[in-house]
Each structure stands twice: as C-alpha cells, then as structure tokens.
Structure 1
Amino acid sequence: MAGHCCGAESGHDKAAGDRGWRTALWIALVVNAAMFAVEIWAGATANSRSLQADALDFFGDAANYAISLAVAGMALSWRARAALVKGISLLVLGAWVLLSTAYAFFFGTLPNAETMGVIGVMALVANVGVALLLFRFRTGDANMRSVWICSRNDAVGNIAVVAAAVGVFGTGTAWPDLAVAGILAMLGISGGLQVIVQARRELRPERVSVLLTAK
C-alpha cells in the first residue's frame, strides 16, 4: 500500500494504464483526422487563414497520435525520440503559419465570418473533448506530455478562432483572422520548444550510458 501511494505501479495497474493510453490515442487520432478534413475544406472555402492553420494543426496532431501509438510500450529512449520528432514538427508548423499569415497580410481577402464561427465552434467541441480525455496523462514522459500540449494548444486555438470570427464580422476586416493565425503559430513554436527540451533531457542519460560503456 505504501509503495502504491508513493507512485509505484503494479503490473496490473501498468497494463490497465497502457490500455487506457492507447484507447485515448485512438479516439484522439480519429477525431483529429476527421476535423482536419472538415477544416481544410472550410478554410479554403471561407478564405480563412486561421481555419487553415488550425486544419494543419489537426493534421499534425493526427500524425503525432499515430506516432505515439507506434512507440507506446517501447523504452523511454524511443518514446523520447518520437517526442523530439513531434517537437520539431510543431516548430516547423508554427513557422509555416507565420509565413502564411505574412503573405495574407499583403495579398489576402476578407474571410467569411459565418463559416469561421460555425467550424470554429465544432472544432472547439472536438478539441475540448480530446483534451479532457488526455488530461490525466499530462504529467507523463515527454511523449505523453507532447500529446497533452498539442491537445491543450488546439483547445485554446479554437477559442481564438471563434473570437476571430466575431472580430471579422464586427469590424469587416481580416485583422482578427490574421491575429489568431499568428497566435496559433506562437503556440506551436512554444509547445514545440517545451517538448524538445524535455525529450533531450530524457535522452541525456542514454548518451551518458553509451559514453561510459565505450570507456
């Protein structure tokens, strides 16, 4: 009992946790893949940069969940390597969104606020559900933490997309849409850096072990 209270896991508890983790990832994967298809179409139709950015985020998360499923149950070093790849992908996505937003600043047209609002609310419901599903895994290793960070960022981003729709409707300008796209980019960059730092920290003991073995 004392060991369990201190955080030790029995084989049965660990197996149950692994099953719960895999089930949560499968649900998150299906939801994100479906919402990517919806948002990429809606973003193109409504000419909304924030919807398109959010759609790419859904795509990236679906790919990340697939990677997490592939490495679930593997050694910590492999899970850390997968998290490192995901962290780098978040940085790349953030950079792409910033460049896309800069382009739209000069050449973009007014997005459709109604479509932005409807799809934004739909995406918010989906992401809040996924975030709640993954909440209990937020303090795990870098791989689990990266999944939680992605889900958290998505929920925050969707609230911003809905706010942007209201702003576009109220002002008749594209500024709110562009501002939210920039916020999503910074969230991706910040989250990517957090994941990379933790993944490198978890990989460090392995490098030390290799050096000691070589000696």
Structure 2
Amino acid sequence: MSNAATDALWRQALWIALAVNGGMFAIELIAGVMADSKSLQDDALDFFSDAANYAISLGVAGMALAWRARAALFKGITLLLLGAYVVTAVVVAALQGSSPEPFVMGGVGIAALVANIAVAVMLFRWRSGDANMQSVWICSRNDAIANIAVVAAAVGVFGSGTRWPDLIVAGLMAALSFAGGWKIVRLAMAELRTASTQAAVHP
C-alpha cells in the first residue's frame, strides 16, 4: 500500500478515535461525578488527554520526523502529569471521600471498555510505527486495560461496600500512565536524536 493511502487510513483512524474519546470523556466525567467515583473521573480525564493527543497527531501527520517526535514527547509528558494528578486525587479521596455508586461505575465502565477495545483494534496495525504512532497505540491500549480495572473496581465496591477498590484501581491507572508516558518519552527522545543527526549529515 502506498504511503499516501497509508496516511489517509491513519488520518481516518485518528478522526474516529478522536470522536470516540471526546464523546466518552463527556459521558464518563458526568457519570463519575454522579457516582462519586475517582476511577471513573480519572478515566474521563484520560479520555480527554487521549482526544487532545489524537488531535495533535492529526496536526503532525505527514510532517518531518522531528515534529512527530516533538508531538510524541508532549504526549508522553502529558501522561506523566496525568499520573501525578491521579495519585494526588487518590490521596485526597482516601482522606475524605465517600463510597461510590457501583452500578453506575460498572455500566459506564463496560460502555467505555467496548469503545476503547474498538479503537485499540482499529489502531493495532500502527503499534510498531514511529514514536507518534506508538504513542497513539499505547494510549488506546492503556484505556482498554483501565476500563477493565474500572469494571473490577465496581464489583469490588459493590461487594465490600467501601471506596477502597475504586481508589486502588485509580492508583493502578496512575501507574499505567507513568509507565506509558515514560516509554513514549524515551521513544520520542531517541527519534529527536536521530532527526538531529540526520539534519547534521544532510543540512
């Protein structure tokens, strides 16, 4: 398949992923507030972060390696910051939060899981591309894993009657953000070094 056709498919996939993540951000944020669930609210923020990252990827699609690497670096840093925010929110909730509503958590978590699996399957073919493409795949993969955890947290909250399963899952989601963000940052930095070397050799 030609590069032009591949780029067209890549852009189409990004537009679909952007629409899905933007819609799920709004749904999960409202449901997370209504259910008083930290894991749902944190997952909603992850949807928002991913939607923004897909928009950035659309902006740099087809551009030089250095620009794509800079976009990936920004996305990696965003994931690290999101992880830090989630850790802070979990600590605050542990000190003063109440037990969330498990049925809303579970229902919305399942809907989000279906959406994220569909996006992850769609983006699977680009999982070994450049840092920018890999960052998109990592985000979609992390989201699907996080949604499985949210559903598990809902079952845990229902069974225990406490908020701890919700907070534990939110903490695991933070760890996932840290791991994914660090991997993207390393890939992006390596590509920036490659682009710098290429520019020096071929000014």
Where does residue 19 of structure 2 map in the other structure? 30
Write the distance in 2 (CA, Å) between the matches of 1:189 and 1:56: 15
Residue 103 of structure 2 is aligned to residue 119 of structure 1: no
Change (3 A) 1:150 1:210: same
What CA RMSD, in Å, does the superposition of the two structures yield over aligned residues? 1.3
Residue 114 of structure 2 is aligned to residue 91 of structure 1: no
- CA deviation map 1:163-198 (0-9, x unaligned): 000000000011100000001101011000000000
Residue 174 of structure 2 is aligned to residue 181 of structure 1: no
Write the distance in 1 (CA, Å) between the matches of 2:130 and 2:147: 26
Secondary structure of the corresponding residue to residue 109 of structure 1? coil
Counterpart amino acid of 2:133? M
Counterpart amino acid of 1:193? W
Residue 138 of structure 2 is aligned to residue 149 of structure 1: yes
Write the distance in 1 (CA, Å) between the matches of 2:90 and 2:172: 10
Write the distance in 2 (CA, Å) between the matches of 1:107 and 1:199: 39
- Any residues of structure 2 matched to 1:14-163 within 5 Å, and which? 14-163=3-152
Residue 184 of structure 2 is aligned to residue 191 of structure 1: no
Write the distance in 2 (CA, Å) between the matches of 1:177 and 1:169: 10
Write the distance in 1 (CA, Å) between the matches of 2:59 and 2:198: 25
> Share of identical aligned residues, percent?
61
- CA deviation map 1:89-132 (0-9, x unaligned): 00000000000001001100000000000000000000000000
Counterpart amino acid of 1:119? V
In the superposition, the TM-score normalised over structure 2's length comes to: 0.97
Gapped runs of 5+ residues in structure 2? Answer: none
Q: Which runs of 4+ in 1 moved over 6 A?
A: none
In the superposition, the TM-score normalised over structure 1's length comes to: 0.92
Gapped runs of 5+ residues in structure 1? Answer: 1-11
Secondary structure of the corresponding residue to residue 173 of structure 1? coil
Larger Rg: 1
